[in-house]
Amino acid sequence: MDTPLNPSRRHFVAGTAATVATLAVGLQERLIAAEAAATSVGVGGKIQHSVCKWCYKDISLEDLCIAGREFGLGSIDLIDPVDFPTLKKHGMHCAMVNYPSKEIEMDGKKKKIGSIPHGFNRLEHHDILFALYEEQIKLAVAAGFNNIICFSGNRDGMDDETGLENCAVGLKRLMPLCEKHGVTLTMELLNSKVNHADYMCDLSTWGAALCDKVGSEYFRLLYDIYHMQIMEGDIIATIRDRHQYFSHYHTGGVPGRAEIDDTQELHYPAIMRAIVETGFTGWVAQEFIPKREDKLASLKQAVEICTV
């Protein structure tokens, strides 16, 4: 037979019901938050994520934009002006515009001026480079992009001090144009041991010295973590000591330039935290070459690893 609840029991039952209801609401909120986090990889962290298109040659730019948006990419690096409309269509930024180039015959040889081997370290390239970058800057600005890559060129028998002086001459000539339009010209640090034999801008010390000589905030370095691990190591220490010279970062697994997970020697979460601690607000672009069959899954994993 049912009996009336006494006052203390009524308080207990009512309190228990309220507690259960509160827990249920709290659980629901946590589930919603977890679901949102699972579907927005790379969103909400302190790193802005980009990717280099050339690493995904079998995937169209259109498909890369669509897939990348789903897991937190906001940019695609090293895009030519002809493809800017595709980025715009999908609401994507280009955090690092590709270099302009022109093939000419010089000294009886064909050279692609503006490319990695034929950059700013030779005075005879400067007129061509100025014209190329003048146009590239205008196109980038019209699209709303403000960072363009450039290269030192190979040594080819030239000493590093002469190359430094020559690069500074050519870059200073472009600085008024960069400053006028708010565009940063960014020279990439590349390794000369494995991938780009004889490349001059292969140490962060040389690159920093060039920045000091050019003397403009609109000339900076692309700190490629993969390349600099091969050349000099001390990645986190270098980021802390020289971050003021870096306008952009690239990733890559060492050795082999494959996925940036635990199959290689670098610990990218710690590197990303070091970048964030410097106050960096720019972009980090994935530039590894996926070895797995599902390349987009590798890219998504890399964005997850670098979300801090």
Say whether 247 sits in a helix, a strand or coil.
strand
pLDDT value, residue 66: 97
Same domain as 225, residue 78: yes
> At residue 167, what are phi and psi to the nearest 5 degrees?
-60, -45
Tokens of 156: 């080819």
**pLDDT at residue 126 above 90?**
yes
- pLDDT tens-place string over residues 207-251: 999 999 999 999 999 999 999 999 999 999 999 999 999 999 999
Same domain as 145, residue 74: yes
Same domain as 277, residue 141: yes
**pLDDT at residue 13 above 90?**
no
- pLDDT tens-place string over residues 165-188: 999 999 999 999 999 999 999 999
Same domain as 27, residue 165: no
**pLDDT > 90: percent of the chain:** 84
Q: Buried (b) or exposed (e) across 121-160, using 16+ Cβ within 10 A?
A: bbeebbebbeebbeebbebbeebebbbbbbbbbbbeeeeb
What angle do the packed helices 235-242 and 268-277 form, to 10 degrees? 10
Cβ neighbours of residue 264 closer than 8 Å, sequence gap 6 or more:
253, 254, 255, 256, 258
More confident residue, 41 or 124: 124
Same domain as 31, residue 70: no
Segment 152-161 shows an average pLDDT of 98
Segment 82-95 shows an average pLDDT of 98
Tokens of 74: 């906001």
Domain that holds residue 25: 1-39
Question: 135 near 100, Cβ under 8 Å?
Answer: yes
**pLDDT at residue 283 above 60?**
yes
Same domain as 163, residue 199: yes
Length of the chain: 308
pLDDT value, residue 108: 86
Count structural domains, the chain.
2
Question: CA 92 to CA 84: how far, in whole Å?
Answer: 9
pLDDT value, residue 43: 52
pTM, two decimal places: 0.86
The separation between CA 160 and the C-alpha centre of its own chain, rounded to angstroms, equals: 27
Same domain as 27, residue 46: no
pLDDT value, residue 38: 36
Same domain as 237, residue 225: yes
% helix / strand / coil in the chain, to the nearest 5? 50, 15, 35
Average per-residue pLDDT in the chain? 89
Question: CA 289 to CA 33: how far, in whole Å?
Answer: 33
Same domain as 104, residue 32: no
- Give the Å distances, CA to CA, from 41 to 48, 51, 107, 243: 12, 14, 52, 26
pLDDT value, residue 178: 98
Same domain as 219, residue 116: yes
Same domain as 240, residue 183: yes
Q: What is the CATH number of the domain that holds 153?
A: 3.20.20.150
- Give the Å distances, CA to CA, from 7 to 12, 20, 23: 9, 20, 24
Q: Of 218, 212, 213, 188, which is closest to residue 200 (Cα–Cα)?
A: 188
**pLDDT at residue 285 above 70?**
yes
Same domain as 16, residue 70: no
Q: Of 98, 66, 93, 65, which is closest to residue 81 (Cα–Cα)?
A: 98
- Give the Å distances, CA to CA, from 212 to 160, 242, 245: 15, 12, 9
